[in-house]
A and B are shown apart, each in its own frame.
Chain A
Amino acid sequence: MAKIMTGAEMVIKALADQGVKHIFGYPGGAVLPIYDELVQQDKVEHVLVRHEQGAVHAAEGYARSTGDVGVVLVTSGPGATNAVTGLTDALMDSIPVVCITGQVPTHLIGNDAFQECDTVGITRPCTKHNWLVKNIDDLARVMHEAFYVAKSGRPGPVVVDVPKDIQFASGTYVGPSNIAHKTYRPQMKGDQNAIRQAVELLAAAKRPLFYTGGGVINSGDTATKLLRELAGMAGVPVTSTLMGLGAFPASHEQWLGMLGMHGTYQANLAMHDCDVMVCIGARFDDRITGRIDAFSPDSTKIHIDIDPSSINKNVAVDLPIIGDVAYVLEDMIRVWRNLAPDIDKKAQAAWWKQIDTWRAKDCLKYKANVDIIMPQYAIQRIYELTRERDTYITTEVGQHQMWAAQFYHFDEPNRWMTSGGLGTMGYGLPAAVGVQVAHPDSLVIDIAGDASVLMTMQEMSTAVQHNLPIKIFILNNQYMGMVRQWQQLLHGNRLSHSYMESLPDFVKLAEAYGCVGLRAEKPAELDDAIMEMVKVDRPVLFDCRVASLANCYPMIPSGEAHNKMLLGDDVDDELDSAVGEKGKVLV
């Protein structure tokens, strides 16, 4: 029903009509009218962050853990520019986010007014779409369109820039129904001929492989169920990108582990040697392919993706299927049932035997230590002690992120929040805030590094203010570990500015924020400390002192193919000798 209201009222009304329960934001001059409406209603709850980047990451965590759209409200100028990192992160990882930014009044746009910036200009390349609303009559429609664009097709972030005079102006509000978009209508259903061909190829395969990605999770619960069903029916081994972890259960016997630069030996060798590869909702990112001309040289490649621009971008595929993963998998399962194919059981048994010999390499093994906590061990313990609980994991970016992906095993989707495409240090802490807002009774752990976590540390304040008992588990090796690892491997072991001198005392820092600080320095005290962290019903900063110079393996070295992986055993001794005296003191 049409109703006259102010622009600020419309923004809140549109959010409520879109079913938004929480927004993450920070007030400022150009959004004061919206904040004034916000405080006078109770449908939409506001979470006050401490920096706008944190607001976007929190919204991403909220969106990724629920499947809903995450919503952000920030002011003009610095509010908008601070949000840019988060928006880019959401674009790279296809996370649906609606970011509302305040803008100076329309008559001042272009005048270099106070806290003015060209928000739509700055955010154009880092959003799926954006709007500057210069007419009150467009506002309600644009708000609903924003949600439609953010969550339809390949999801992504959008920005709605609302000048302050538009927030004050009065106009007619229209509801979300009956707003059909004139141009943006993504193709959901796949081409039936292509689907039949795909099933025939899969049925005739001797060494098939599913390479899945974040698109399966974005497609929703149905897609993950269908993936499990099809993989089971066809008996196909499954690997996944970093973004896709959880779509296929890690406890399943057909699971090979993550693939890519720090993926498992069996997953990468299977990628290299397979004869039919079905890429489902992934994008052949350079962390996955390694050397393009040596990437899976003998396979017929089938690529299921909702975004046509992902097809043939990095790797030429033989059979593209444009469509939503759930729709396409549903059709594939139906065709498979009708076809009831005789798969080459003998060939597939040989394929599994080969995979088992790769698995026997035990590529994730590391040297255990009784005096020093190995970072891998710390994550193994967190996994063992929290796996039976309702747990969500977020991460920062670096070695700890890769170890978390290798050693924390997910059986369900939407449980794993990490910055994959952009690789944003500082993502995990605010993302944990967002996840905890969406799941107040669940256990939310940010597996962090000492360098990353300092980038958005201020959001501990947000957690304390809103009673969000997030657990920040810092693998503290006093290095930017991944930077150092690359310097060791690629730059002659010259450790240029990758050592974090004068780190804060994280336990005291926790106390200063009004949360709980814990520390573990020996493997023997780790379990008790983790259990204490889990039990505390308040935010925790956990300073886990780990081996300083541990490196992350296996690894596909620069410019190499999948079958040229480095395993930990190959390099440890050599690296030890490559580490200087100053470094050795720290081991």
Chain B
Amino acid sequence: MPNKSPSTHYPAQVLHEKTESHTLSVLVDNEPGVLARVIGLFSGRGYNIDSLTVSEVSHEAHLSRITMVTKGTPMVIDQIKHQLERLVPVHVVDDLTIVAQEAGHEKPLERELALAKVVGKGDRRVEALRIAEAFRAHVVDASTEHFVFELTGRISKIEQFLVLMQPLGLVEVARTGVAAISRGKEGM
């Protein structure tokens, strides 16, 4: 009798093609529980969230914009979009990565803000300030023993800045996650 291992009545996992990172913009009614619906969908169906930001963007219409960066095979990314569209309070789901690619750009406009606390004295302190200036980070708080830097930019820039600050006394980081918008005159 055929008895393939492992012994299960479920089909085996199909080996997937390569995963891609996509930035999605989701316009939703700003009502109680809407964020829970979105992230519950991701955890329930096993999708990844690499970054998530949310804020009300239209106070009169009570609309919030959720920007999320997610990873998956093209089939899974497509599923994610359709599953999001199925949620009742969701107005629009825009795949900014696809929008950018169709317009001939590599990526949509993506920005993140980071606050970094760097503690140190002497040379290390001077070096931290010098690097911060090179990255156009602002000093938003300081004492003789620390700085808090505010840095805005692409994710890669923030990552690089934090790597450089690590040996100079980086003790704490707060990041907003990615806010993104498509290039060109077309609105969402």
Residue of B nearest to A311 (CB): B82
Q: How far is the CB of A467 from chain B (nearest CB, A)?
A: 39
A351 at the interface (CB under 8 A from B): no
Q: How far is the CB of A296 from chain B (nearest CB, A)?
A: 14
Contact of B90 among A132, A183, A560 (CB under 8 A): A183
A182 at the interface (CB under 8 A from B): yes
B89 at the interface (CB under 8 A from A): yes
Which of B2-10, B101-109, B175-183 contacts its partner? B2-10
CB-CB under 8 A from B91, the residues of chain A are 182-183
Whole-angstrom CA separation of A261 from B11 in the bound complex: 11
B122 at the interface (CB under 8 A from A): no
Residue of B nearest to A570 (CB): B1
CB contact under 8 A between A308 and B1, given known A291-B11, A291-B12, A558-B7: no
A200 at the interface (CB under 8 A from B): no
CB contact under 8 A between A132 and B32, given known A291-B11, A292-B11, A308-B85: yes
**Does B82 lie within 8 Å of A309, measured CB to CB?**
yes
**Does B11 lie within 8 Å of A574, measured CB to CB?**
no
**Does A289 lie within 8 Å of B11, measured CB to CB?**
yes
**Does B37 lie within 8 Å of A124, measured CB to CB?**
yes
**Does B88 lie within 8 Å of A149, measured CB to CB?**
yes
**Does A557 lie within 8 Å of B4, measured CB to CB?**
yes
B50 at the interface (CB under 8 A from A): no
Given contacts A128-B88, A132-B33, 19 further A-B contacts (CB under 8 A): A124-B36, A125-B40, A125-B41, A129-B88, A286-B10, A289-B11, A292-B14, A307-B82, A309-B82, A311-B82, A312-B78, A557-B3, A558-B3, A558-B7, A558-B10, A566-B1, A566-B2, A571-B1, A574-B1
CB-CB under 8 A from A261, the residues of chain B are 9
B184 at the interface (CB under 8 A from A): no
CB-CB under 8 A from B89, the residues of chain A are 183
Q: How far is the CB of B20 from chain A (nearest CB, A)?
A: 15
Residue of A nearest to B84 (CB): A309
CB-CB under 8 A from B82, the residues of chain A are 307-309, 311
CB contact under 8 A between A183 and B29, given known A124-B37, A292-B14, A490-B7: yes
- B residues 19-58 with Cβ under 8 Å of A? 29, 32-33, 36-37, 40-41, 44
Could you say which interface size class chain B belongs to?
20 to 34
**Does B9 lie within 8 Å of A558, measured CB to CB?**
yes
**Does B3 lie within 8 Å of A290, measured CB to CB?**
no
A-B contact pairs, 23 of them (CB 8 A): A124-B36, A128-B88, A129-B88, A182-B29, A182-B91, A183-B88, A183-B89, A183-B90, A291-B11, A293-B14, A308-B85, A309-B82, A309-B83, A312-B75, A312-B78, A312-B79, A490-B3, A557-B1, A558-B7, A558-B8, A558-B9, A558-B10, A566-B1
Q: How far is the CB of B133 from chain A (nearest CB, A)?
A: 47
Q: How far is the CB of B170 from chain A (nearest CB, A)?
A: 37
CB-CB under 8 A from A559, the residues of chain B are 4, 8, 11-12
A319 at the interface (CB under 8 A from B): no
Whole-angstrom CA separation of A313 from B47 in the bound complex: 13
In the complex, the 9 A-B pairs of residues with the closest C-beta atoms, listed nearest first: A309-B82, A490-B7, A129-B88, A559-B4, A308-B82, A309-B83, A557-B2, A184-B88, A125-B44
Residue of B nearest to A154 (CB): B86
Whole-angstrom CA separation of A202 from B88 in the bound complex: 35
A495 at the interface (CB under 8 A from B): no
**Does B88 lie within 8 Å of A564, measured CB to CB?**
no
CB-CB under 8 A from B87, the residues of chain A are 129
Whole-angstrom CA separation of A557 from B1 in the bound complex: 9
CB-CB under 8 A from A309, the residues of chain B are 79, 82-83, 85-86
Chain A 303-316 per-residue mask, 1 if CB under 8 angstroms from chain B, else 0 = 00001110111001
Q: How far is the CB of B1 from chain A (nearest CB, A)?
A: 6
Whole-angstrom CA separation of A566 from B3 in the bound complex: 12
Whole-angstrom CA separation of A292 from B75 in the bound complex: 14
Q: How far is the CB of B80 from chain A (nearest CB, A)?
A: 9
A38 at the interface (CB under 8 A from B): no
**Does A313 lie within 8 Å of B1, measured CB to CB?**
no
CB contact under 8 A between A560 and B2, given known A120-B33, A124-B33, A182-B29: yes
Residue of B nearest to A156 (CB): B86
